[in-house]
Amino acid sequence: MVNYLVQEYLDISSKKYSKKTAAVCKDLSVTFGELVIASNQLANCLISYGLRRQDRVVFCLERSINSIFAIAGILKADSIYVPIDAKSPLKRLGKIITDCQPSFIICDSLTIKNILQVVSNIKITPKIIVMGANNDQLDIRTKGLIDQDLIERCDKSNLKYRNIDTDIAYILYTSGSTGDPKGVMISHLNIRNYIEWAIDCIGITEKDNILSTAPFHFDMSTFDIYCAMKAGAKLCITPESYLLFPSKLVKLIEAEKITVWKAISSLLMYLVKTKSIDRGRVENLKKIIFAGEILPTKYIVEWMKIYPDKIFYNGYGPTEATGISTYYKLERIPENIREPIPIGKPCLNTEVLLLKKDNSLAQQGEIGELCIKGSGLSKGYWNDSQKTAESFVTNPVTKIEGDLIYRTGDLAKLNSNGDFEFIGRKDHQIKHLGYRIELFEIENAILSINCVNDTAAILTTSLEYDLPELIAFIELKDGISKADVKVKLKKKLPHYMLPQRLIQMDNILRTDRGKIDRQALKKYYLKFLSNEHC
Rounded to whole angstroms, the Cα distance separating 368 from 410 reads 8
Put the strands of the sheet holding 127-131 in their side by side order.
127-131, 104-108, 56-60, 80-83, 168-175, 181-187, 380-381
Rounded to whole angstroms, the Cα distance separating 155 from 77 reads 13
The pLDDT assigned to 254 comes to: 97
| Least confident among 50-64, 209-223, 392-406, 495-509 | 495-509
Q: How many CA atoms lie within 13 A of 525 on its CB side?
A: 25
Q: Which CATH number fits domain 195-424: 3.40.50.450, 1.20.1080.10, 3.40.50.720, 3.40.50.12780?
A: 3.40.50.12780
Largest pairwise CA distance in the chain? 73
> Which residues fall within 8 angstroms of residue 309, CB to CB, at 6 or more apart?
none
The pLDDT assigned to 257 comes to: 98
Residue 83 φ/ψ, nearest 5 degrees? -80, 135
| Least confident among 185-194, 273-282, 453-462 | 453-462
16-38 average pLDDT score: 97
Beta strands in 384-487 (DSSP E): 392-394, 404-414, 420-425, 429-432, 435-438, 452-461, 468-476
The pLDDT assigned to 477 comes to: 84
| Least confident among 15-19, 267-271, 328-332 | 267-271
Domain ranges of the chain: 32-163, 195-424, 433-532
459-477 average pLDDT score: 78
465-480 average pLDDT score: 80
The pLDDT assigned to 250 comes to: 96
Name the helix (H) or strand (E) containing 182.
strand 181-187
360 compared with 519, residue with greater pLDDT: 360
At 435, the pLDDT band (50, 70, 90 cuts) reads low
Inter-residue contact 497 to 434 (CB < 8 Å): no
At 517, the pLDDT band (50, 70, 90 cuts) reads confident
**Which 3-state string (H, E, C) describes 33-63?**
HHHHHHHHHHHHHHHHCCCCCCCEEEEECCC
Q: Is the pLDDT of residue 466 over 80?
A: no
Give the tens place of pLDDT for each residue, 193-211: 999 999 999 999 999 999 9
The pLDDT assigned to 374 comes to: 96
The pLDDT assigned to 315 comes to: 96
Q: 433-532, superfamily in CATH? A: ANL, C-terminal domain (3.30.300.30)
343: nearest Cα among 314, 373, 312, 303:
314
> Which residues fall within 8 angstroms of residue 519, CB to CB, at 6 or more apart?
none
75-97 average pLDDT score: 93
Percent of the chain with pLDDT over 90: 68
At 462, the pLDDT band (50, 70, 90 cuts) reads low
Rounded to whole angstroms, the Cα distance separating 127 from 50 reads 10
283-306 average pLDDT score: 92
Rounded to whole angstroms, the Cα distance separating 459 from 87 reads 30
Same topology, domains 32-163 and 433-532? Answer is: no
Put the strands of the sheet holding 311-316 in their side by side order.
28-31, 21-25, 234-237, 209-212, 260-264, 287-291, 311-316, 326-329, 345-346
17-33 average pLDDT score: 97
Q: Is the pLDDT of residue 486 over 50?
A: yes
| Least confident among 143-147, 215-219, 437-441, 498-502 | 143-147
Alpha-carbon dihedral 485, 486, 488, 490, rounded to 10 degrees: 150
**Which 3-state string (H, E, C) describes 89-125?**
CHHHHHHHHHHHCCCEEEEECCCHHHHHHHHHCCCCC
Q: Is the pLDDT of residue 306 over 90?
A: yes
At 87, the pLDDT band (50, 70, 90 cuts) reads confident
Helix (H, G, I), strand (E, B) or coil at 439: helix
The pLDDT assigned to 140 comes to: 47
Q: Is the pLDDT of residue 25 over 80?
A: yes
Name the helix (H) or strand (E) containing 128.
strand 127-131
Q: Is the pLDDT of residue 177 over 50?
A: no
The yes or no reply on domain 32-163 and CATH 3.40.50.2000 is: no
How, if at all, do strands 127-131 and 104-108 pair? Answer: parallel
> Which residues fall within 8 angstroms of residue 136, CB to CB, at 6 or more apart?
none
130: nearest Cα among 114, 121, 181, 122:
114
Give the tens place of pLDDT for each residue, 371-418: 999 999 999 999 999 999 999 999 999 999 999 999 999 999 999 999
Inter-axis angle of helices 246-255 and 265-273, nearest 10: 110
The pLDDT assigned to 184 comes to: 97
The pLDDT assigned to 179 comes to: 57
> Which residues fall within 8 angstroms of residue 35, CB to CB, at 6 or more apart?
10, 14, 22, 23, 68, 69, 72
Rounded to whole angstroms, the Cα distance separating 212 from 224 reads 6
In DSSP terms, 469 is beta-bridged to 460
**Per-range mean pLDDT, top range of 262-271, 301-310, 441-450:** 301-310
